[in-house]
Chain A
Amino acid sequence: MQRAAHSEGAALRLDTPTPPAVELDQVRRIYRRDEFAVHALDNVSLTIPPARFVAIMGPSGSGKTTLLNLIAGIDHPSSGRVAVGGEEISSKKDRELAAWRARHIGLVFQFYNLIPVLTARENVDLPLLLTTLNKRDRRAHVETALRAVGLGDRMDHYPRQLSGGQEQRVAIARAIVTDPTIVVADEPTGDLDATSAEEILNLLGELNRRFGKTIVMVTHDSRAEHHVDEIYRLDKGILTGVEPGRRRLA
């Protein structure tokens, strides 16, 4: 897929040593709930190399989504350093983060979060509205993304006209259409039946293999272990271990 026309080109990155896709250094995230302090993440350090498909797993309340939000740049760490694609984002201001997310992050949510009044094509077009691409080029990018997720024949369908699995495919197309540095997915199979969940995991795996996309996925789904390269396990905000996924072992 062609990178969408953002101000930063891809060529520069080819000429320099490839930095880790994600790097967290002693990251803490503490939420204030009234007079209580909730330690969602406690001193987490990890490095995810580029072009990997990794899963973050752990019980509810272990800090998985918090970790994902920090990587996606929609939350700030209380302390520590977060870098994505070699760029430190923990010190960026909200406005800078918004522009950064538009260029580097593709987000996939558990409940798809498509805009119901927009067709699949228009939903996927949303991130491209933030680029300098003209309408014709945007249309070409959107169609490429939708074909890549197997929805070439559903482009003008509204979300209500699609199954859950198809909606999630549209959400994935929306996440990859700008050719982001990293795709983050929060429980992408959490609202799907077994067959659709398997299809989505296969699709994410294929995107990782074919296009070299770094994919960081939070999941409870044990089937994910078969599809990913590494599994990062969290418990009570602490990174308890990193183990290879079965895809790697295979």
Chain B
Amino acid sequence: MKYAALVVKNLARSKRRTIFTLISIAVSLFIFSALVSMPAVVNRFLADPAASNRVACHNKAGVTYGIPEAYKQAIAATPHVEAVVAQSWFGGIYHEVADQFPNMSVDPEQVGAMWPDWEIAPDALERFQHLRTAALVGPETMRRFGFHLGQRIMLRGTIYPFNVTLDIVGTLNGKAPPSFLVFRRDYLEEVRGRPGFVDVIWVRVDRAANVPQVITALDENFANSSAETLTEPEAAFYGNFIAGYRVFFRMAELMGILVVFAIGLVAANTAAMSIRERRTEIAVLRSIGFPTRTILAMLLAESLLIALAGWLLGCCGAFLLLRSITVQGVVGAIQMPTSVLFIAFAVAVLIGLVSAIVPASAAARRNIVEALRAVA
């Protein structure tokens, strides 16, 4: 600790350089944290363990082709099936085009049985089953648009040439995607003119071990029909659904890593300059008797302090920013998982150490006589 004052004084030697280095590391870690958080949100969504008992049955050719509503009865009669809920995507917007969020219609009867992990309040579930225009809304969307229970809202159709007027009767909680809005499919069907097709039929299986058996049974049952099905576990379904974004996520991760790498090089150059300017002082410290490892530790501590201050500013800034504002992602608002804080911390430590290790090591081990002669 007695060397701490020396480390701090050296950091304050060139305040402008220290501040700019700190800011550049902070900005890079801000970008890194924000970009890495995007796939992390999806991964967290797909890793939801409660999803393991649910399977999605949809047209083999793709979700947008639809399957007959009549499949519901056949599916419900399949062994090990506990609940069946048909779903049709609505994809409406609230006011502006930018007001997009996931909204869809579902059969109301077995919503509670299908998604117990959504923790819908019993009275809300009851109202949902009795009011034709009822809607259940995730907390993120409630907060985003300032909705409140009992409010009547109108969603403008983007796929369909009509709007729907909905009454908010409850909220989706627990592990429900926080940006989802669900309303009753019978209402949508009525407005659509009852075409008899749905996008997906959700199936809840009694036990996770029976999921493969049910999947096989369903797909075999509808084989060689006009609408062959592809049934898959919930995680796989969402995984395929957002597969198109995976390239974007990979690119985001790559961009984050590249930004950090670039700033790492800048930090290395700055550390090298800073240490090169102090070669004589380092030689003087060694001539006084400072051990090489103590000098090395002090130089690394300087670099580490800047990097950690950059982490505090950049990563924690991103964490707080993403908490305070809503950035809508594919499967909900993007928020930084706590794990990203730790990853970014490790990255900051790496930047701090790696950027300074070579010049610091060279300066701390340089021949004292040569270093002193270089000045004189």
A107 cross-chain contacts in B, Cβ below 8 A: 284, 287-288
Q: How large is the interface on B (under 10, 10 to 19, 20 to 34, 35 or more residues)?
A: 20 to 34
Q: Take A101-B288, A110-B376 as given contacts and tell me if A129 and B2 are in contact as well, using a CB distance cutoff of 8 Å.
A: yes
Knowing A72-B287, A130-B289, the reply to whether A113 touches B369 (Cβ < 8 A) is: no
Complex CA–CA separation, A72 to B283 (angstroms): 13
Stretch at the interface among B6-14, B121-129, B164-172, B342-350: B6-14
Contacts of A116 in B (CB 8 A): 13
Q: Least Cβ distance of B125 to chain A in Å?
A: 68
Q: Given A69-B369, A74-B368, A113 and B290 touching (CB < 8 A)?
A: no
Of residues B10, B286, B287, which shows the largest number of chain A Cβ atoms within 10 Å of its Cβ? B287
Number of A interface residues at 8 Å Cβ cutoff, please give it: 29
Determine how close the nearest CB of chain A comes to the CB of B153; give it in whole angstroms.
63
- Chain A residues with Cβ below 8 Å from B2 are 129, 135
**B287 adjacent to A99 (CB under 8 Å):** no
Task: Let me know if A98 is at the binding interface, CB within 8 A.
Answer: yes
**Does the CB pair A94–B375 fall under 8 Å?**
no
Contact A111–B288 (Cβ < 8 Å): no
Q: How many whole Å from A89's CB to the nearest CB in chain B?
A: 13
Q: Mark A40-73, 1 if CB is under 8 A from B, else 0.
A: 0000000000000000000000000000010010
| A199 close to B (CB within 8 Å) | no
CB pair A109–B372 under 8 Å, yes or no, is yes
Q: A75-B369, A111-B375 are in contact. Are A101 and B10 (CB under 8 A)?
A: no
Q: Does B3 contact A (CB under 8 A)?
A: yes
Please tell me if A148 contacts chain B, counting CB pairs below 8 Å.
Answer: no
Q: Are B287 and A74 in contact (CB under 8 A)?
A: yes
B281 touches A113 (CB 8 A): yes
A102 to B369, Cβ gap below 8 A?
A: no
Question: Which residues in chain A, 90-139, are within 8 Å of chain B measured between CB atoms?
Answer: 94-95, 98-103, 105, 107, 109-111, 113, 115-118, 122, 126-127, 129-130, 135
> Which residues of A lie under 8 Å from residue B287 when comparing CB positions?
72, 74, 101, 107
- Which A-chain residue is minimally distant from B289 (CB atoms)? A102
B residues near A135, Cβ cutoff 8 Å: 2
Does B280 lie at the interface of the complex (its beta carbon under 8 Å from any beta carbon of A)?
Answer: yes
- Chain A residue numbers with a CB within 8 Å of B286 are 74, 98
**Does B288 lie within 8 Å of A99, measured CB to CB?**
no
Contacting pair A117 B280 (CB below 8 A): no
Report the bound CA distance from A113 to B280 in whole Å.
8
Given contacts A74-B368, A129-B2, contact A117 B288 (CB under 8 A): no
Q: List 22 A-B contacts (CB under 8 A).
A: A69-B369, A74-B368, A74-B369, A74-B372, A95-B291, A98-B289, A100-B289, A101-B287, A101-B289, A109-B284, A109-B372, A111-B375, A117-B9, A117-B12, A126-B285, A126-B288, A127-B288, A127-B289, A129-B6, A130-B288, A130-B289, A135-B2
Q: Do the beta carbons of B10 and A117 come within 8 Å of each other?
A: yes
Contacts of B6 in A (CB 8 A): 118, 126, 129
Name the contact of A94 in the complex, choosing from B284, B292, B372 (C-beta under 8 A): B292
Query: Cα distance A111–B281 when bound, in Å?
Result: 11
